[in-house]
Amino acid sequence: MTEGTRTVRASRRALLLAGAAACLPLRAQPQPPFRLGLLTQGDDERYSPQTLLRGFPDAPGGRSEPAAQIALNDSLVTLQLAGRSSGQLVALEAPTGAALPASLQQLLQQGVQHVVLELPAAGVAAVTAAAKGREVMLFNAAAPEDVLRAAQCAANLLHTLPSHAMQMDAIAQLLVARKWNRPLVLVGPTPGDRLLQAAWQRSARRFALRPIAERPFKLSNDPRERDLGNVRLLTSDRDYDAVVVLDAQGEFASEVPYRTVLPRPVLGSNGLVAQAWSPFHERNGAPQLTRRFLRRASRTMTGYDWATWMAARCAAEVASAYVKAGIAQQVQALRQGAVAVDGYKGQRLTFRGWDGQLRQPLLLAHGGGVADMAPLEGFLHPRIALDTLGYDAPETGCKAG
């Protein structure tokens, strides 16, 4: 082979390599690790050892930091494709609600722009107020109160935990589908019970249910109020198709199943409960997530854990898809449905533009399994069936969306 021939072939090889390199996708510019904040409150009574020991069905099972860690692991490939070397969780506990604004400031100083709030409603409101005008996206993963999606909503506040309205709509749909149209309603005296009652009454009107009565219950050591805590007395002298119990604390509700005078199903705060997650959910790859959480946390996964997992996944996804965008643009992308995330519930999930609530199916679960999934078949919506759960666009009280 002559020197000229070798030179020509070398030139051709160089051209081919250059052409192949031009066809390769451009690597994303190196970015710092994605930092996700998790803000908790030390005196949140829902996470006290005494409350957790009771194990009420519609309550946290423990702190959800393991769920956030799993979500960041699940998002690692997405983050790396966007040029992020990893995902880092920055967990911070404020001792009291009064310390939350300072804790948020501490997270911001560490470069955190996406924060999951594992807080009660008052804490979420305090952090939202402190975050006004700041470059930060907030995810409410532990407060179901409807007011946070209405009068106390904010443009940069998103919600992955189902609202009270969504839960009560799911319960109402099941009652209608089963033709249990005449329920007996038992409601407690606490402010939390009143919130559940307001959500229930809205759902009952929305789905044309006809409760036969709403009876108050009260757990008390006062002998004069003993009858208000007697399930048999409260469920006697009237016929009914089902019993809906509204008990935010869960203690009375745990006594209702199998103690009613008539053999009727119990729904609401015990019996059949509308939840974001259940360890008995066995479709759509759900057992994989349940097992991974069990291995990391040494306990079963609850709806509150799922809400934190989902918030972390959404934060990582939008930060990866919009690397060069500001927080306001990222929030807009989520609210407009430009980013959708698989939640192991059979479909990719998006946020509502009007109040920042995550659209999602709810599991109608009991102590040993899942009876159904809402929205149930036959409940239609002009655009998205998931919007039959919770406040729809024409009903919203949020002015910041």
CATH number of 165-274: 3.40.50.2300
119's tokens: 């807080």
370's tokens: 């899942």
pLDDT at 14: 46
Contact 361, 374 (CB under 8 A): yes
| DSSP sequence for 187-234 | E-SSHHHHHHHHHHHHHHHHTT---SEEEE----S-GGGGGGG-HHHH
Rounded to two decimals, what is the model's pTM? Answer: 0.90
Query: Alpha helix locations (H) across 24-163?
Result: 49-54, 65-74, 76-81, 100-109, 121-130
Whether 220 has a pLDDT exceeding 90, the answer reads no
pLDDT at 135: 95
User: Is 34-162+277-360 a domain of CATH 3.20.20.120?
Assistant: no
The single-letter code of the amino acid at 14 is: A
196's tokens: 């559940």
What is the tens place of the pLDDT at every residue in 48-102?
A: 999 999 989 989 999 999 999 999 999 999 999 988 878 999 999 999 999 999 9
CATH 3.40.50.2300 domain residues, the chain: 34-162+277-360, 165-274
Whether 222 has a pLDDT exceeding 90, the answer reads no
Cis peptide preceding 223, ω within 30 of 0: no
Pairing mode of beta strands 362-366, 242-246: unpaired
Total length of the chain: 401
Contact 218, 225 (CB under 8 A): yes
Whether 168 has a pLDDT exceeding 50, the answer reads yes
pLDDT band at 30 (very low <50, low <70, confident <90, very high): low
Contact 143, 157 (CB under 8 A): no
pLDDT at 401: 63
CA dihedral 320, 322, 328, 331 (to 10 degrees): -60
What's the sign of the alpha-carbon dihedral 382, 386, 387, 388?
positive
* Least confident among 177-191, 210-224, 349-363: 210-224
pLDDT band at 23 (very low <50, low <70, confident <90, very high): very low
Region 285-292: what's the mean pLDDT?
Answer: 96
277's tokens: 């997650």
pLDDT at 29: 56
Contact 165, 146 (CB under 8 A): yes
